[in-house]
Structure formats: C-alpha cells, structure tokens
Amino acid sequence: MIRWPLDKIRRAVDGRWAIKPAAPDRPIAGLSTDTRTLASGQLFVALRGEFFDGHAFISQAGAHGAPAVLIDSPDALVEPARLALQHHGCGVITVASTDDALLELGAAYRRTLTRTRVVAVTGSAGKTTAVRFIDAALGLSLHGSASIKSFNNAIGVPLTILAADEQSDYLVCEIGMNAPGEIAELAAITAPDIAVITSIGRAHIGELGSIEAIAREKASLLPDLTPGGLAVVPVGGEMGGEYLEPYLGPVPQLVRFGAAETADIRIQRAHHTDRGTLAVEFAGGPNVELPLIGRHNAANAAAAVAVARAFNLDPSVIARGLARTHAPEMRFEPETIAGATIYNDAYNASPESVRAAIDTFAEVGAPAQRRVIVLGDMLELGVHAEPTHREIAAAIAKTNPPDVVIAIGLMAPAVVDELLERGYTGESAIYSELTPEIATRLAARLEPGDAVLVKGSRRLGLERLVTAARTRAGVATQPSTRVEAAG
C-alpha cells in the first residue's frame, strides 16, 4: 500500500496545510475513506456521496489515529473539529476537490509501480468475474492484488491502485462507467500494460444510444496502454467483438478470445459437471474446471488464460489457479434453502447477461420439480427498454419455459404480456417493486424441490427475496454485499 510521507502526498495533490501535523515527514500506512474501518496511521480522505459527507467525520478520523485528513471544505474546520484534530496531532490538507485529489494521488502512485504489470478490465458484462479469474490464474505463482468487490469507478479504481504493493508482480483493476468519458479518465490513471475487454453488449444503451457508441466507450481503455502493451478482446459473435474492430489498429499487441476458429485463445468445449462446476477445454490447453456455473463464464476464463499466458505461466499452473477462483457473490450463486435451490444472480442485469442466466437456468434447473424465474427490470435501456424486455420474455417462453414467472418493475406488464402472446401457459405474476412484504410473501410460496432464478438490475434489490427465504427457514442471514458500482 502507499506509504508516502504526508508532505509528499500534499505536494502530489497540490494541497496546502490548514493544520500542519505533528510529523509531516511521517509515512502513512495506506488510506481510508470510511472512519468505521480506518486503521491507525491511515490518511483519511473526506468524500461526499448522495447520503453522506466524510467531512462530518474528520474529528473521529483524528481520534482513530489518522496522521492527517484530506478535505475540500474549509467550513468543516469548525472550532470543535479543529481543536480535536490539533489535540491528536492530526494534520489537515485542503484541496479544491477530494474526488480529484484521490484520482491524482492514484495516478502519481501508479507511476511508481515500475515492476508491476497492471491489468485493466472493462466490458459490458463479466468484468468482476474476469477480474477474479485473472487474479486466481496469476496469484498461484505471482505476487499481486486485484480490485475488491466491484471497485470500478472514480473512487474504487484509485483505491485499488493505492492499496497495491510496490513490489507486486501484477495489479488487476476493474474499470466501469457511470457516464461517457469515465473509462478514458480511469484508463489515464491506470496506464494498463494489459487491457481486457470482456464483451460489448447493450448495458448503458439508454445513455449511449447505440451499441457502436458502447464499443467506442469501452475501447477508450486502449489508447492509454503502455508502450508495447497488450489488448485482450473477444472475437465477434455473441460477445460483440466485431464492434471493437475499428479501434484495434493502433494496439501494439492483440490477443483475441472466444469460440471462433480465428480466436487466439479458442474455447473448444464448455460443459457443466455433476460437481456443480464448469469444465472448459481450450485449443492447445489448458483444460480447466471452474468452481461456478454458466457456460458464458468460459469466455471470462479465456480472457484470464490470455493474460496468464502473457505472464509466461505454464498451462498447468494456469489451470490450478483458475480452479481456486472465488466466484463473485450474487453472480448465479446457488444456495439451497429449505429444500429449494435459489440461483442468486441479482447483482446486475443487461440484455446479454439475462439471456445467459436464462440459458444456464434452463439447463441446471431442468431436474427440479418446479422452476421459477423472478425477473426484475433491466435499467438504463432508455427507449430500448420495452422491446428489449419483450425480447427477454420471448426467450423465456422459448427456452424450456419455467413453471412460474414473477416479473418485477415498470417493465413487468410488458414481460408478462409478451409471455402470454408467445403462448406461455405457466403461472405468472406482476409486481411494480419488491417490497419487504412482497419478498416475504414470495418466499413463503417456495417449496422443497423448487429451482429459482433471481435476476434483475442492482437498484431493484432482488436479493431481498433470498434474505426473506433464509429468514423464513431460520437460516442466518449473510452479511450484505450490496455495492453500487459502475457498469
């Protein structure tokens, strides 16, 4: 982690001392943006969010052992706070914007990681899973780190960089977007040696307008590749690789992955095993077994194999590394509760990820006594929302139709209407939102032997159905993993 002296940090962010610390030459022990988890010796960066303002907690930061706090509001230094900070010998650096300062500090620290190869991962779907695969493939024999959870925005990316060890062999950063131009901004501070684009799909099409614009946005990761850098991209087909072709000409080195014959990392076969794993065979090796399900994950594994080969790792080492992957939570995560198997895929949803979830559920849920799909709205589709939801409903009706479909959100009526038009004869229900009461009611309807797919965009919070099922069964509720992230 970053261990720079306080005064070096002040200079890196073009800040000034509002209160000089007791020891300005003292190295920090990393940094934190949350006083609840801040450890003694960490710099506290006061950020603002929709529901919080870190400036309200600078006194607590000093009491918890922060050697300094970084602020952009002099108004935060009211007399009680100033006295408390001075009492603890805690300095105060003021800047124009703590958000910008965090990015500047991340960029400055990235420039010191001269022995570390940085891998940046973006894409319309599969980013977090690909990051986990790459970290697992490399981490068995190399020293490094990766984004935690989905730290992929203007806060999470610099925090990932600043947590890296200067002696690391690798660092894997997830790069997302909430607005056009954000990927380019994050690419500039990340300066990747290897850039991975997992897929091009219709996530964010409501804002960006077309899949061509989405590809352009994702490809903005590529111009900041270091000299001689490598891009790992999908080959055409379902992963949308053809939309990237206009941007690949200037790339120094290129590796394509996928099932097509033209792929450099070619998926020959992917199938589910009776152990609840996904076995994937690659042309020329390795053959790997992944501790998660969903044939679409073969593409994410292929991207990881491409990266690991760039590190000159032996195929057997790559296979062993991938076999120990810790799958991201709420990505088709199976859990048996009171005899019902729930596949929790509620982290997020785009048209492509929903289709993949439906296809996987049609296969793994086939032996169940009753199959239930709980489908929430796919958000950020704009004018494409209704036709895209109808497209998904048509796929549900066609692909081994389930016994029950519960549609949740503003698009729920369109989903059920399309199902009925397609001749669906199972049970269906419409809810405008998943309230705690409705979640409890739906959980009470689940029966032993059921297979249930829960899929929807992040803001719908469909994991509340899983929590309600645990509560009803007397199972301890797992800690919340809800993290707002860029797509």
Convert the chain into a string of H (helix), E (strand) and C (coil).
CCCCEHHHHHHHCCCEEEECCCCCCCECCCEECCCCCCCCCCEEECCECCCCEHHHHHHHHHHCCCCEEEECCHHHCCHHHHHHHHHCCCEEEECCCHHHHHHHHHHHHHCCCCCCEEEEEECCCCHHHHHHHHHHHHHCCCCEEECCCCCCCCCHHHHHHHCCCCCCCEEEEECCCCCCCHHHHHHHHHCCCEEEECCCCCCCHHHHCCHHHHHHHHHCCHHHCCCCCEEEEECCHHHCHHHHHHHCCCCCEEEEEECCCCCCEEEEEEEECCCCCEEEEECCCCEEEECCCCCCHHHHHHHHHHHHHHCCCCHHHHHHHHHCCCCCCCCCEEEEECCEEEEEECCCCCHHHHHHHHHHHHHHCCCCCEEEEEEECCCCCHHHHHHHHHHHHHHHHHCCCCCEEEEECCCHHHHHHHHHHCCCCCEEEEECCCCHHHHHHHHHHCCCCEEEEEECCHHHCCHHHHHHHHHHHCCCCCCCCCCCCCC
Name the residue with higher pLDDT: 166 or 480: 166
Which pTM was predicted? Answer: 0.92
Average pLDDT, the chain: 94
User: What pLDDT shows up at residue 327?
Assistant: 81
pLDDT of residue 477: 56
More confident residue, 48 or 478: 48
The reported pLDDT for the residue numbered 476 is 63
Q: What percent of the chain has pLDDT over 90?
A: 89
pLDDT in tens, 435-471: 999 999 999 999 999 999 999 999 999 999 999 999 9
